[in-house]
Amino acid sequence: MDAFFNPQSLAIIGASNRKFNLGATICSTLKHLNFDKPIYTVNRKGEDVLGCKGFTSLHDIPGEIDLAIIIVPARVAPNIMEECGKKGITNVIIETSEFSEAGEEGKLLQDQISEIAIQYNIRFIGPNCLGVLNTHNNFNSFFGVKPGLYDKIFKRPGTISYVIQSGVIGTIIMDSFNHEVGNTNKMVCIGNKEDINEADLLDYFNKDNTEVIGMYLESIKNYDRFLEAAKRSTKPILIYKSGRTSAGAEAALHHTASPSSNETLFDKEGANAGLIRVNTITELHSMPKIFTRMPLLKGKRIAIFTNSGAFGGISSDLLIETGFEVPALSKELQEKLINTGRLFNASNPIDLGPTLARQTFRDIFNILLSSDEIDGLLAIPNIWKHTVTEAVLELEDICREYGKPAAIYIPHAVERILTIRKEYNIPSFTSAEEAVRALSISYNYYLTKRRNHRGGKNE
Amino acid sequence: MDAFFNPQSLAIIGASNRKFNLGATICSTLKHLNFDKPIYTVNRKGEDVLGCKGFTSLHDIPGEIDLAIIIVPARVAPNIMEECGKKGITNVIIETSEFSEAGEEGKLLQDQISEIAIQYNIRFIGPNCLGVLNTHNNFNSFFGVKPGLYDKIFKRPGTISYVIQSGVIGTIIMDSFNHEVGNTNKMVCIGNKEDINEADLLDYFNKDNTEVIGMYLESIKNYDRFLEAAKRSTKPILIYKSGRTSAGAEAALHHTASPSSNETLFDKEGANAGLIRVNTITELHSMPKIFTRMPLLKGKRIAIFTNSGAFGGISSDLLIETGFEVPALSKELQEKLINTGRLFNASNPIDLGPTLARQTFRDIFNILLSSDEIDGLLAIPNIWKHTVTEAVLELEDICREYGKPAAIYIPHAVERILTIRKEYNIPSFTSAEEAVRALSISYNYYLTKRRNHRGGKNE
């Protein structure tokens, strides 16, 4: 599998200097990103493309090829696949579309390719896909990308790996990391997934430097294998599954030839296997930080820390409605809190009012997180002073010290929230709902993993 | 009521030149906004504050005062209220806190004020509030505001009026209109609402230039009166109600002395009265545009228009799960659509693939919205070319022409969505979920209003 993500040499079949050639945009992106392994191109004229040496056939390329990217018309693809086999190439990405998603004729071509792959022991991604992107080595097989679009993504490689069945979704996720903490590690756009599918990638991402796995799927290729892989996973898997309704499934069929699945069953068995179903595409990039930046939530009792009376009430509602507890704090704990400064309310929600001393914030965080009365924190500080920002930054360390998470929401208009988050790298959410949702995801993941660890027995 | 929003003369009692004086920040904001009516201040020294003429007592101010703003310590407030009465002032905003929200002693002071008001025929907003803001005449009684914070809001007055029970929520809403289409018309922060309450303001906003009413409430003062006012309203009312759970209600009690209400009952009766319960604070500023910029949705049949196969599937799911229909289009209609350009899919979802001609977009919009097979449009164009933006801008006119709405979502990372929306003033939403939610809100409002119009009979 590793050759898909870390190819030591690369052939792009179908890249040429013709106008609008998609293969050329891959060469261009790789050059722009300074990908430092040999890149060869294969085209009818055997011409070089943007500095990538050109050949008329794969056969003529000297030495071994680690990975072939096929981006020729569908009807020619089987021949090229055969050439790959003869050249001894075992890893192929087929980006070409017009296969099974386009009808019966395409389906036959896809079957042909599959047979050739089996014959020559080739593993392949696609067809009808964008392939692979790895921020840790500047490898990127996505076509149609404007140079510069992914620069920010590749500048600070992350630990969140994605399996997606749509280029648009991939682009939205990566682009979102411009205003989100963390970043993409690897991303695979699997298209019609005739060979390599979501289960293979779950296993692979469990062995590499990935911390959290995100998936956008329109179908599940092999239901049982997928659930087994999910069960094996020691890393959280966030999954958005479209095609939940027959209308949605019908639409997916036109997109990536995805057959519909039994949603009710998947919902139940997926949850048992530890899959975290997300409600929106946004959650695929907003939720990982509750895992990468905070300890797991191991209990239901949440303390609310805020300097806004309104958000004390709003977030109490949200927590209770989500199944959490907002316990009244003991007299002893309240006294400790009162001693830190001039508080509006020392019960739960803890309302600071206009107090804005860094030490008060720090003291309260320590008192709450060290107490055995609470399991986690919902922190809603209305930040408009630098001193407070620093206190909120320290919160992450305090959470780690006590092994309890905080979900942070800084109540402002979303533009301002994004600006503060980017500037200070605070793992904050963009709404109280999102913060409560993160706590819920963390807690449910903890419960499932504990249950599976105990052999599937519920308490 | 109008004197609260359009005072012809103003006295701010408690504004002085002392450091951190809140009354002075009101003077400063009004001067900054070029509010052009006489502003007087009353303080112990009788000193002018930031150019606002000062007096030691209300009595000494020459001429009539249209509106008094009280921002003195709570224990002094009853005396000042009495002076207002003697001066013949009939409209007062009491911004001072430490009344019923602070305990028994404060409650007594609030009762005293109430009695004085009755005695002198004074109507008042508050106590424990920020008062009133009117973007159409630069009037703003909110204190603690940095000069410049609301400049953008006052530069382009809007038509959405708010009743809120929290300054933070008000600030978030107003700030959000920097990246949202439309804007605030008037905003009232009602605090403990001892006298003027949400019902009074519903009636008032039904008579002024308001198009949509938004409310953030922690309690309902007079349940029956409020529901009657809502039923009378000819304008949509979006309401976020906190204190839904006992924990949330407990928190609200500390904030604005709000007693809890029967939520199940309110949910049902509120919906019957035409109140639109929103799920998040965000919806208070994101949802009005489906009313201000689009015709009402009068049926369930939605056409999806997109150039992303993924969002075709995602939004089909969302629509069906929300109770809408995504009907397959007739052969005739599909043929008309196919004639417009090279489409990926002419059924529903209509998938354009990479086609990006302005005329194709325009033709498809016209064909769909003029057809009697569909009632509304979910438009998800992946915009990255200027020509397309223009086509999407025209969509609004086409919708008005046929009396059917479109909910628009331009699939990008949220930062980019906000930028496109601001630049082109497109009434677009920030997610597919939000767009579908808007259609749902529009349709439900239509159904309730039709039912009430027919004398409360369901079909």
Pick the residue from chain B with its C-alpha nearest to A317: B248
> What percent of chain A lies above the pLDDT cut of 90?
79
CA dist., res. B449 & res. B273, Å (int): 9
CB-based contact A247 B317, cutoff 8 Å: yes
Which among A441, A442, A448, A440 is positioned nearest to A230, based on CA atoms?
A448
Contact B176 A218 (CB under 8 A): no
The pairing of strands B39-42 and A212-217 is unpaired
What average pLDDT does this structure show over A179-202?
96
Determine the residue of chain B that is closest to A327 in CA distance.
B247
Confidence of residue A35 (pLDDT cuts 50, 70, 90): very high
Alpha helices by DSSP H, listed for B209-262, are 223-232, 246-256
Residues A382-437 pLDDT 10s: 876 677 788 899 999 999 999 999 999 999 999 999 999 999 999 999 999 999 99
Chain B closest-CA separation from residue A382 CA (Å): 9
* Closest chain A C-alpha to B63 CA, distance in angstroms: 38
Q: Which of A260, A317, A329 to mutate to test the interface with B (most CBs of B within 10 A)?
A: A317
Instruction: Flag if B310 and A345 touch (Cβ within 8 Å).
Output: no
Q: How are strands ordered across the β-sheet holding A184-189?
A: A139-140, A131-134, A184-189, A160-164, A212-217, A237-241, A275-277
Q: Which amino acid is at B175?
A: D
For each successive 10 residues of chain B (459 residues), what is the average pLDDT? Answer: 96 95 94 95 97 96 96 96 97 96 93 97 96 96 80 92 94 93 96 96 97 95 92 96 84 68 77 93 98 98 94 95 96 94 86 83 96 98 78 95 97 93 94 98 95 64
Subunit contact B243:A317, Cβ cutoff 8 A: yes
Q: How far apart are CA A416 and CA A255, in angstroms?
A: 36
- Among A246-255, A332-341, B255-264, B368-377, which range has the highest average pLDDT? B368-377
The alpha carbon torsion through B327, B328, B333, B337 (nearest 10 deg) reads 110
Q: CA-to-CA distance for A107 and A128, rounded, in angstroms? A: 12
Predicted TM-score (pTM) of this structure = 0.94
Chain A residue numbers with beta carbons less than 8 Å from the beta carbon of B216 are: 310
Rounded CA gap, A102 and A117, in Å? 21
Query: Which pLDDT belongs to residue A72?
Result: 96
**Single-letter residue type at A318:** L
Cβ contact B175–A242 (<8 Å): no
Which tokens in the block code for residue B308?
């992303």
d(CA B89, CA B84): 5
Query: Which among A178, A189, A104 has a CA at the least distance from the CA of A143?
Result: A189
Query: What's the complex ipTM?
Result: 0.93
| pLDDT score of A260 | 57
Using a CB-CB cut-off of 8 Å, the residues of chain A touching B254 are 309, 312, 344-345, 351
Among A140-154, A172-186, A445-459, the range scoring the smallest mean pLDDT is: A445-459
List the Cα angle A196/A200/A202 in 5-degree steps: 135
What pLDDT, on a 0 to 100 scale, did the predictor assign at position B99? 93
Tell if the CB–CB gap between B166 and A254 is shorter than 8 Å.
Answer: no
Distance CA A108, CA A96 (A): 15
Query: Which residues on chain A are in Cβ contact (under 8 Å) with B320?
Result: 245-248
pLDDT confidence of residue A456: 54
CB A285 within 8 A of CB A244: no
| Closest chain A residue to the Cα of B260, Cα to Cα | A313
At residue A459 the predicted structure's pLDDT band, cuts being 50, 70 and 90, is: very low
CB pairs under 8 A between A and B: 168
Angle at A239 (CA atoms; ends A234, A241), nearest 5 degrees: 145
Contact A413 B179 (CB under 8 A): yes
- Give pLDDT tens digits for A57-75: 999 999 999 999 999 999 9
pLDDT in the model for residue A458: 45
Which residues contact residue B259 at a Cβ distance below 8 angstroms, ignoring those fewer than 6 apart? B219, B249, B253
Among A164-178, A281-295, A381-395, which stretch is predicted with the lowest mean pLDDT?
A: A381-395
Shortest CB distance from A414 goes to which of B176, B244, B310? B176
Token duo for residue B125: 């907003």
Nearest Cα to Cα of residue A174 among A185, A184, A160: A184
| Three-state DSSP class for residue A356 | coil
Residues A248, B179: C-beta atoms closer than 8 Å: no
What are residue A93's phi and psi, to 5 degrees? -110, 120
**For tokens 């509006």, what's the residue?**
A344
Considering only CB atoms, A431 lies closest to which of B178, B251, B280, namely: B280
Contact list in B for residue A278 (CB cut-off 8 A) is none
Residue of B nearest to A249 (CA): B313
Nearest CA of chain A to the CA of B349: how many Å?
Answer: 7
A102-114 tens-digit pLDDT: 899 999 999 999 9
Question: Closest-CA residue in chain A for B320?
Answer: A245
Instruction: Show residues of chain B in contact with A351, CB under 8 Å.
Output: 251, 254-255
| pLDDT confidence of residue B245 | 85
Average pLDDT taken over every residue of chain A: 92
**Of how many residues is chain A composed?**
459
Give which of B343, B349, B333 is closest to A253, Cα–Cα: B349
Nearest to A348 by CA among A384, A320, A322, A323: A320
Q: What is the pLDDT of residue A62?
A: 94
CB-closest option in A169, A311, A413 to B175: A413
Q: Contact B309/A251, CB-based, under 8 Å? A: yes
Residue A279: its chain B contacts at CB < 8 A? 433
Q: Which two structure tokens, joined as six digits, stand for A83?
A: 């050439």
- The two tokens of residue A302 are 């949440």
Look at residue B258 in the predicted model and tell me its pLDDT. 64
pLDDT of residue B408: 97
C-alpha span between B282 and B278 (Å, rounded): 9
- Record the tokens describing residue B280, joined without a space: 């998040």
User: Taking CB atoms and an 8 Å cutoff, what residues of chain A touch B256?
Assistant: 309
